[in-house]
């Protein structure tokens, strides 16, 4: 296991460096260069020259890359010239917001989706199954901005039950202490995730119930509940673990549409704006965070396979 871990971490580092290098290369083709992007159209050649000198844009891209890696190793992710803040502080202020929003919605989605999927299997081809399947399809196909906006107009503006905007605090505590603010965006985001998760759960459970080991368990006298929860569920969760592993980048990367509709500037909006505003340092910084989250998510998923499935061992 230790050897496997070391191998995977080594691979992860290579992947992250590769992603950063690629991002760096792509930023070289920004029209007008990083200086023009930071200083705007009115910038004079002298101002651009000075900016390039001060920020090492006058050296080769590979030198810039190594300077960046060196700075990253020292905790310096660079400066966003559009936002007048360090990239690190920007990420530190937006990441908690996103963790709360996407993390809570993922947990909520799991809590609802797994039992829903099981219920559909138990009531397979019965009215409950058909109704839940229909609701899932509606939820899955519902555009996030539409659902969010409808919820705001109805529950916030017309009925005044919730706030139309998510909490504006920067810390996890400030956000969580305002449930009237966060319930709607969390529900809005999880409604779509629930639909997907429950469909995966249903099909996975149905697949497990056709396996030989289930027939064997029943032949040995195991009751329906024991078959379902002790034998089938554990194996049926494996695809969900894969989904969860793949969700980690999203949990860190943010949910751009929900953030936009609910006035909740998190990592999704930060990354999108960095891309549209050619904010080079910020774009590379958020890409770095997403890359790290992706490799960690995959690694964690692989390790969890071993926990839930005794057949999987990394030796």
Partner 1 sequence: MESIGWGKRRTRRLGILGAAALVVLTLAACGGGSSSNTTTNGGGTKVSGGTAHWAEAPQATPNYIFPFASFSYFSVANLTQFQELMFRPLYWFGQGQTPNLNESLSIANLPSYSNGGKTVKVTLKPYKWSNGEQVTPQDVIFWLNMMKVEKTIWAGYVPGTIPDDITSITTSGKTLTFQLSSNANSNWFTYNELSQITPMPMAWNLTGSGQVATCGTASFSSITTTTTKDSKGNDVLTPVSPEAKSCAAVYTYLDSQAKKISGYATSPLWSVVDGPWKLSNMDTSGNVTFVPNTKYSGPIKPTLSKFVELPYTSDNAEFNALAGNQVDLGYLPTQDIQSPATSSGSGPCDIKPGANNPRLSGYNIVPVFGWSINYFPYNFQSTGNGGQAGKIFSQLYFRQAFQTLVNQPLYIKKIDKGYGVPTYGPVPVCPNNKFATTTEESNPYAYNQQKAVNLLKSNGWDVKPGGTTTCADATKCGVPAGTPLSFDLQYAGGTTAIDQLMQGEKSSWAQAGIQVNLKSSTFDTVIGTATPCTATGSTPCGWELENWGGGWIFAPDYYPSGEDLFQTGASSNGGSYSNPQSDNLIKQTTQGNADLAAFENYVAKDLPVVWQPNALGVAEISKKLQGVGPPNPLLTLNPENWYFTK
- Positions that interact with partner 1 (CB under 8 A): 30-33, 36-50, 81-85, 89-90, 93, 145, 149, 152-153, 156-157, 163-165, 168, 170, 259-265, 269, 273, 275-278
Helices (H), the chain: 2-27, 33-39, 45-54, 61-73, 87-122, 127-141, 144-151, 172-176, 179-209, 212-219, 224-225, 233-253, 256-261, 267-276, 280-308
For partner 1, which is the closer residue by CB, 98 or 204? 98
Comparing CB distances to partner 1, the nearer of 124 and 160 is: 160
How many beta carbons lie within 10 A of that of residue 89, not counting itself?
Answer: 13
Q: Of 158 and 212, which has the nearer Cβ to partner 1?
A: 158
Q: Give min distance, CB of 245 to partner 1, in A.
A: 29
Q: Give the nearest distance from C-beta 304 to partner 1 in angstroms.
A: 34
Residue 2 vs 46, nearer CB to partner 1: 46
Give min distance, CB of 282 to partner 1, in A.
12
CA–CA gap between residue 257 and residue 189 (Å, rounded) = 9
Select 251 or 257, whichever has its Cβ closest to partner 1. Answer: 257
Shortest reach from residue 279's CB to partner 1, in Å: 8
Question: Rounded to whole angstroms, how far apart are CA atoms 92 and 123?
Answer: 46
Helix (H, G, I), strand (E, B) or coil at 202: helix
Distance of closest approach, residue 46 Cβ to partner 1, in angstroms? 4
DSSP 29: T
How far apart are alpha carbons 144 and 258 in whole angstroms?
7
Q: How far is the CB of 243 from partner 1 (least distance, A)?
A: 28
Distance of closest approach, residue 273 Cβ to partner 1, in angstroms = 6
Nearer Cβ to partner 1, position 129 or 170? 170
Q: Would you say 136 and 198 are in contact if contact means Cβ atoms under 8 Å apart?
A: yes
Residue 281's alpha-carbon distances to 41, 124, 219, 255, in angstroms, are 19, 52, 62, 21
> Residue 152 or residue 293: which is nearer to partner 1 going by CB?
152
Rounded to whole angstroms, the Cα distance separating 315 from 313 reads 6
């Amino acid at each position: 296991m230790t050897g496997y871990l070391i191998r995977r971490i080594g691979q992860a580092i290579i992947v992250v460096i590769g992603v950063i290098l690629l991002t760096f290369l792509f930023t070289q083709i920004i029209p007008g260069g990083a200086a023009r992007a930071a200083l705007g159209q009115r910038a004079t050649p002298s101002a651009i020259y000075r900016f390039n000198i001060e920020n090492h844009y006058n050296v080769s891209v590979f030198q810039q890359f190594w300077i960046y890696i060196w700075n990253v190793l020292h905790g310096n992710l660079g400066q966003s010239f559009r936002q007048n803040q360090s990239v690190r502080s920007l990420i530190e202020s937006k990441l908690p917001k996103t963790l709360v929003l996407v993390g809570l919605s993922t947990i909520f989605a799991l809590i609802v989706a797994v039992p829903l999927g099981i219920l559909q299997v138990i009531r397979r081809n019965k009215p409950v199954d058909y109704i839940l399947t229909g609701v899932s399809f509606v939820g899955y196909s519902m555009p996030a901005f539409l659902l969010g906006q409808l919820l705001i107009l109805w529950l916030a503006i017309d009925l005044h039950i919730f706030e139309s905007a998510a909490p504006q605090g920067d810390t996890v505590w400030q956000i969580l202490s305002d449930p009237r603010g966060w319930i709607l965006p969390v529900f809005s985001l999880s409604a779509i995730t629930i639909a997907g998760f429950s469909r995966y759960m249903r099909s996975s459970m149905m697949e497990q119930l056709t396996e030989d080991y289930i027939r064997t368990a029943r032949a040995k006298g195991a009751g329906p509940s024991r078959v379902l929860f002790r034998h089938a569920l554990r194996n049926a969760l494996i695809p969900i673990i894969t989904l969860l592993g793949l969700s980690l980048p999203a949990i860190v990367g943010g949910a751009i549409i929900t953030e936009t509709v609910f006035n909740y500037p998190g990592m999704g909006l930060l990354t999108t704006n960095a891309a549209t505003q050619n904010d080079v340092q910020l774009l590379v910084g958020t890409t770095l965070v997403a890359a790290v989250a992706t490799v960690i998510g995959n690694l964690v998923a692989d390790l969890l396979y071993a926990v839930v499935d005794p057949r999987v061992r990394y030796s």
